[in-house]
Structure 1
């Protein structure tokens, strides 16, 4: 006679892998610096200002801080097994891989839905300078006869040593490499049953609301003279 302990227990399904998050390190750094500067100037004006100055400074803080956060700290791209979630300054767009028509890189990186709607990837900005730098490194590696970055491992062989570079593939700018990774994930998952659905777009009222309130208060204070 078998007991409940002897019966094989149902194994829970393996958890899905976490989304890969892509963000701009330069944007985060600049956002932190801007917030520190704005906060220092605003708080100083509120504490030491006279007359309407503290109120104007407060209204400016309510207006400016959400905008700085929106354009620097907020943008992110979440790439999962079933969908791409794009968090831009004022909107959050969720695209199942089955609804993605293309991932384009030009002067900006963008995802195109099958409906034809384009959404810019604010968190993956194009750097023409980085592209040129990568092209120069690739050209130098090609001139030296070592494909790729030229930073491959080298091994010593025999007395005196002779090195052999291991090919590493073409040199790519970091954001271009991110786009390559997104394309590979999309191509591998676009026909998956779980990667189908509708595109959803949500406005970031947590950013728009405070910014609008600060703009209204600032306008009222300026109108009052």
Structure 2
């Protein structure tokens, strides 16, 4: 009797800085709108509610929502306003230039959750060159550090490049699997777009009737 191969939980890729920024911005917008709702008079509470309904989904869409989920069968890219699900057999390539992109069935999809930091990439390159030469990497002012980085640390790429390398490995490993076959599907995030549209229409009506 043969046992089925063990399945692992999805790998999840998200931007920590974006999550922090989203929580801070939501707190700030909520505080300002709440104050206007409680203390404002005239059209101020209605304007504050409409603004909150418009701004909050935008903050969530661009900070809290983006994520990339990778399993043995598929890659799911959750961007601000839509979710792209691509079985590994449909993945043509995963690229990292000035941004990270999924190419599936000939179409490019940006992966918002895995930002490319040119500064981090440059730092990783300097660290690797310093380890190869045996010298300490130069600092911002041109002075060397206390010691050259060890080989293990020097070989560590920038976080965005590391995530792309892991996804490429999964694509190569599972691209021919029977469970990883299928077509690319794209789903719009109506739960984000609906309140955004309502808030936008409300603000437009308030502006036209002011």
Residue of structure 1 in register with 2:175 after alignment = 190
* Partner Cα distance (2:152, 2:7) in 1: 34
Out of 87, 110, 113, the position equivalent to 1:96 is: 87
Describe the SS at the equivalent of 2:112. coil
- State the 1:46 CA deviation: 1.1
* Partner Cα distance (1:131, 1:192) in 2: 33
Q: Does the Cα contact within 8 Å between 1:46 and 1:57 map onto a contact in 2?
A: yes
- State the 1:11 CA deviation: 10
Q: Mind listing any 5+ residue stretches in structure 2 that lack a counterpart?
A: 137-147
Q: Mind listing any 5+ residue stretches in structure 1 that lack a counterpart?
A: 1-9, 153-165
* Partner Cα distance (2:72, 2:153) in 1: 27
Q: Does the Cα contact within 8 Å between 1:135 and 1:171 map onto a contact in 2?
A: no
Q: Please identify which structure carries the higher helix content.
A: 2
- State the 1:32 CA deviation: 0.8
- State the 1:50 CA deviation: 1.5
* Partner Cα distance (1:176, 1:139) in 2: 17
* Partner Cα distance (1:12, 1:139) in 2: 47
Residue of structure 2 in register with 1:6 after alignment = none
Residue of structure 1 in register with 2:163 after alignment = 178
* Partner Cα distance (2:133, 2:51) in 1: 55
Residue of structure 1 in register with 2:145 after alignment = none
* Partner Cα distance (2:189, 2:86) in 1: 17
After superposition, the C-alpha distances for 1:129-184 in whole angstroms (9 at most, x for unaligned) are 111111121122122179xxx655xxxxxxxxxxxxx6456231001000000000
Describe the SS at the equivalent of 1:218. helix
TM-score (norm 2): 0.89
Larger radius of gyration: 1
* Partner Cα distance (1:44, 1:222) in 2: 21
* Partner Cα distance (2:11, 2:152) in 1: 27
Q: CA RMSD in A?
A: 2.0
- State the 1:49 CA deviation: 1.2
TM-score (norm 1): 0.83
Question: How many pairs align?
Answer: 199
Is 1:201 aligned to 2:201, yes or no? no
* Partner Cα distance (1:27, 1:212) in 2: 23
